[in-house]
């Protein structure tokens, strides 16, 4: 029986198996030992009897065998045949020739047929004598044969001097005696012993099983009672108790189970009381929350109605405000084309800028209102990033030139410009960032770079050389109406909605925005937008094979370098004012010279005039 099969039985069956197996093994071993001991004793007794009888026969038959006295040998054989279990006797001379045989030397011959079958006995002797020696018996199915030598010693044989003229000086071998011991009685006793032992084994086994069974019942009954009690507890009857009538370990276990049941029952009652109390409190809370939710629902409906009213009001007001402001701008620009005094023209420019700022403010408020009301939807369509960015750059170029700032766009050579996205929202993001960069920069420039990590994401960096943003103010910079300093709104104007609009649009497009800035060190806004590549391919190839660039700003030069690479022009030379003529001398028909406008402000001589000369 395997361990798994044993463990699958009940504890009663396992106890019986554990108790009976050693007992059964012990009884079996004792029975086998008894049978083998009795069998060995029978064999030893039979062999000992044969040895004694054969030795006795060899001792008393020396003279008779020496003298070949048939009558005396017959008397000796008859007396030996009276010994129990002796079946036959044979006297042999020294050459193993039979002298006299008596009794049964072989199986199957009766006393009446013994004389008629002397030839058969002789034949038997011829067969068995080679296998018999005087050291031990020879065994067949029915007989044990003992062969002993017969010596002649210490006998006066003077009456037989004619036959043996010389006296024997010592023991002389005169022949052999062969004794056949019948094994039938011993075999019958062995069968009787085997039968008796088997009956005793069965009787002992039955007694052991019965005693073990009733002892196991006495031991298992308390365990079964404990099991029944635990099952009642498991089914929910925590008031069930185990009996503790004995003083053994099971009584201690029963007492522990009863104590555990009492503790569990008490804990259950306490828990049910707490659950009822908590349920009552929860129901009261739910009722209160239901009232609050209803109040919140009413408040939300009122807020939505107010928000819709606000959106409608802003839309109507923007339309109402845009019309007169646009008219003001139109008439101011018409007035600027007439003959005006210098101070009058200056007043017209101030009025035009104020009107433009007012329009920008109205646009920011409308955009922020739409983002807050979640009414902005993205239009996913193919777009050209270069065209999208250049339109924004063209819009802000006059402002940058007016302040003497470089406005540079740099496209990474590996960037694919054909993408899928909402170009209007991208331009809105860039417009707010570039407007802020120009607003807060008095010198240097604004640099926009576009690059890509893969076919999905586009990274746009907008860097300026302006006043920078203190680290303490950067955390709240993307909040609505927030600015780095309260004096900024007085000095530079604006409402503080631009970056909040940018943050909302970037989040709406599934992108991310971060900034790096330091006070007095400028600011860099980095935007990551998920814009998938479209199926269209970039095909920007110019016929020029060589370009000479005159530029004093390194970032502008880098932008031009990337642009030339994108156009398929790899032969690009950056020349200074001193070697401009030398670099331009070898140009051919399709080659070009690029002179940046910002570089003209740093030189007294016009580079174009130098080249023409």
Q: Give the pLDDT of residue 207.
A: 87
Q: How confident is the model at residue 335 (pLDDT cuts 50, 70, 90)?
A: confident
Our CA angle for 568, 570, 571, nearest 5°, is 130
441-458: average pLDDT: 86
12-18: average pLDDT: 75
Q: Look-up: residue for tokens 């279990």?
A: 85
- Nearest partner of 493 among 436, 443, 445, judged by Cα: 436
566-580: average pLDDT: 55
Least reliable range by pLDDT among 204-208, 390-394, 568-572: 568-572
**CA 310 → CA 314, 318, 324, 365, 499, distances in Å?**
6, 12, 21, 11, 22
Q: Average pLDDT over the chain, rounded to whole?
A: 75
Q: Give the pLDDT of residue 49.
A: 83
Helix (H) or strand (E) holding 367: helix 342-372
**CA 323 → CA 301, 326, 327, 355, 359, distances in Å?**
33, 5, 6, 11, 10
Q: Give the pLDDT of residue 374.
A: 62
- Model confidence at 392: pLDDT above 50: yes
- Model confidence at 161: pLDDT above 50: no
Buried b (16+ CB within 10 A) or exposed e, 378-415: eeeeebebbebbeebbeebeebbeeeebbbbbbbeeeb
454-463: average pLDDT: 87
**Sign of the CA dihedral running 90, 93, 96, 100:** negative
pLDDT digits (tens, 9 = 90+) for 365-376: 776 666 666 666
Our CA angle for 376, 515, 533, nearest 5°, is 55
505-513: average pLDDT: 88
Question: How far is the C-alpha of 70 from the C-alpha of 281, rounded, in Å?
Answer: 129
Percent share of the chain, pLDDT over 90: 6
Phi, psi angles (nearest 5°) of residue 132: -105, 135
**CA 366 → CA 178, 319, 479, distances in Å?**
141, 11, 16
- Model confidence at 110: pLDDT above 50: no
pLDDT digits (tens, 9 = 90+) for 412-438: 888 888 888 888 888 888 988 998 888
Q: How confident is the model at residue 291 (pLDDT cuts 50, 70, 90)?
A: very high
- Model confidence at 319: pLDDT above 80: no
- Nearest partner of 436 among 411, 399, 387, 390, judged by Cα: 399
- Nearest partner of 432 among 473, 406, 460, 402, judged by Cα: 460
Q: Give the pLDDT of residue 279.
A: 92
Q: What is the DSSP-derived secondary structure letter of residue 117?
A: G
Least reliable range by pLDDT among 119-123, 278-282, 338-342, 347-351: 119-123
* CATH architecture type of domain 257-375: Orthogonal Bundle (1.10)
pLDDT digits (tens, 9 = 90+) for 59-88: 888 888 888 888 888 888 888 888 888 888
Contact 140, 162 (CB under 8 A): no
319-333: average pLDDT: 77
pTM over 0.85: no
460 by Cβ neighbours in 10 Å (0-12 / 13-18 / 19+) ranks as buried
Q: Where are the domains of the chain?
A: 12-155+168-189, 257-375, 378-538, 540-613
Determine the topology of domain 378-538 in CATH: Heat Shock Protein 90 (3.30.565)
pLDDT digits (tens, 9 = 90+) for 514-550: 988 888 888 999 999 998 887 766 555 555 566 656 5
pLDDT digits (tens, 9 = 90+) for 221-272: 777 777 888 888 778 777 777 776 666 777 777 777 788 888 888 888 888 8
388-398: average pLDDT: 86
Query: Looking at per-residue confidence, does 232 or 460 come out higher?
Result: 460
> What's the CATH number of domain 12-155+168-189, 3.40.50.2000, 3.30.450.220, 3.40.50.1820, 3.40.1180.10?
3.30.450.220
13-26: average pLDDT: 79
Q: How confident is the model at residue 165 (pLDDT cuts 50, 70, 90)?
A: very low
- Model confidence at 576: pLDDT above 70: no
Q: How confident is the model at residue 144 (pLDDT cuts 50, 70, 90)?
A: confident
Q: Give the pLDDT of residue 558.
A: 61
Query: Looking at per-residue confidence, does 578 or 441 come out higher?
Result: 441
Q: How confident is the model at residue 4 (pLDDT cuts 50, 70, 90)?
A: very low
Least reliable range by pLDDT among 116-120, 293-297, 323-327, 590-594: 116-120
- Model confidence at 26: pLDDT above 80: yes
The top-scoring range by mean pLDDT among 103-107, 146-150, 358-362 is 146-150
94-120: average pLDDT: 61
Q: How confident is the model at residue 108 (pLDDT cuts 50, 70, 90)?
A: very low
Query: Looking at per-residue confidence, does 114 or 151 come out higher?
Result: 151
Q: Give the pLDDT of residue 163.
A: 46
Q: Give the pLDDT of residue 349.
A: 78
Q: Give the pLDDT of residue 7.
A: 42
**CA 209 → CA 5, 20, 216, 219, 356, distances in Å?**
21, 7, 10, 15, 113
Crossing angle, helix 11-60 and helix 70-81, to 10 degrees?
160
Q: How confident is the model at residue 584 (pLDDT cuts 50, 70, 90)?
A: low
23-48: average pLDDT: 85
Q: How confident is the model at residue 8 (pLDDT cuts 50, 70, 90)?
A: very low
Question: How far is the C-alpha of 430 from the C-alpha of 426, rounded, in Å?
Answer: 6
């Amino acid at each position: 029986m395997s361990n798994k099969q044993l463990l699958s039985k009940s504890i009663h069956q396992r106890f019986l198996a554990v108790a009976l197996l050693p007992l059964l093994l012990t009884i079996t071993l004792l029975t086998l030992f008894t049978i083998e001991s009795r069998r060995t004793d029978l064999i030893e007794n039979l062999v000992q009897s044969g040895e004694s009888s054969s030795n006795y026969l060899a001792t008393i038959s020396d003279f008779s065998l020496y003298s070949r006295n048939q009558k005396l040998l017959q008397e000796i054989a008859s007396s030996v045949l009276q010994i129990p279990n002796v079946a036959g006797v044979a006297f042999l001379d020294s050459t193993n020739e039979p002298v006299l045989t008596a009794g049964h030397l072989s199986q199957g011959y009766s006393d009446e047929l013994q004389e008629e079958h002397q030839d058969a006995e002789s034949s038997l002797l011829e067969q068995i004598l080679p296998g018999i020696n005087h050291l031990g018996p020879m065994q067949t199915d029915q007989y044990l044969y003992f062969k002993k030598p017969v010596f002649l010693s210490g006998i006066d044989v003077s009456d037989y001097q004619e036959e043996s003229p010389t006296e024997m000086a010592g023991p002389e071998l005169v022949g052999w005696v062969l004794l056949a011991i019948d094994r039938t009685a011993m075999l019958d006793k062995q069968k009787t012993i085997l039968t008796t032992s088997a009956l005793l084994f069965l009787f002992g086994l039955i007694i052991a099983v019965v005693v073990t069974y009733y002892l196991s019942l006495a031991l298992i009954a308390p365990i079964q009672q404990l099991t029944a009690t635990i099952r009642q507890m498991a089914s929910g009857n925590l008031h069930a108790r185990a009996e503790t009538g004995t003083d053994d370990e099971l009584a201690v276990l029963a007492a522990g189970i009863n104590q555990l049941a009492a503790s569990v029952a008490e804990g259950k009652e306490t828990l049910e009381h707490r659950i009822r109390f908590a349920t009552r409190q929860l129901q009261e809370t739910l009722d209160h929350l239901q009232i609050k939710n209803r109040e919140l629902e009413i408040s939300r409906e009122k807020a939505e109605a107010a928000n819709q009213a606000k959106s409608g009001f802003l839309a109507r007001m923007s339309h109402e405000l845009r019309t007169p402001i646009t008219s003001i701008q139109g008439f101011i620009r018409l007035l600027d084309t007439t003959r005006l005094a210098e101070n009058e023209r200056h007043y017209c420019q101030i009025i035009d800028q104020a009107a433009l700022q007012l329009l920008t403010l109205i646009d920011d408020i409308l955009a922020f209102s739409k983002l807050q009301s979640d009414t902005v939807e993205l239009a996913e369509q193919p777009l050209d990033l270069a065209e999208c960015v250049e339109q924004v750059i063209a819009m802000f170029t006059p402002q940058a030139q007016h302040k003497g700032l470089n406005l540079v766009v740099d496209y990474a050579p590996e960037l694919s410009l054909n993408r899928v996205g909402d170009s209007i929202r991208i331009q809105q993001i860039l417009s707010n960032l570039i407007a802020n960069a120009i607003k807060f920069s008095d010198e240097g420039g604004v640099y926009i770079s576009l690059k890509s990590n893969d076919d999905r994401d586009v990274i746009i960096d907008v860097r300026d050389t302006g006043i920078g943003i203190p680290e303490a103010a950067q955390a709240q910079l993307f909040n609505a109406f927030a600015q780095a300093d309260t004096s900024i709104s007085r000095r530079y104007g604006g409402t503080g909605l631009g970056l909040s609009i940018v943050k909302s649009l970037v989040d709406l497009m599934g992108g991310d925005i971060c900034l790096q800035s330091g006070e007095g060190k400028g600011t860099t806004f980095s935007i990551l937008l998920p814009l998938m590549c479209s199926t269209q391919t970039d095909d920007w190839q110019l016929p020029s094979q060589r370009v000479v660039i005159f530029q004093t700003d390194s970032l502008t030069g880098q932008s031009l370098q990337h642009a030339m690479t994108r156009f398929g022009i790899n032969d690009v030379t950056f020349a200074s004012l001193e070697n401009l003529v030398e670099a331009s001398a070898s140009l051919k028909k399709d080659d070009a010279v690029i002179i940046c406008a910002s570089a003209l402000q740093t030189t007294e001589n016009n580079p174009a005039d130098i080249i023409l000369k």
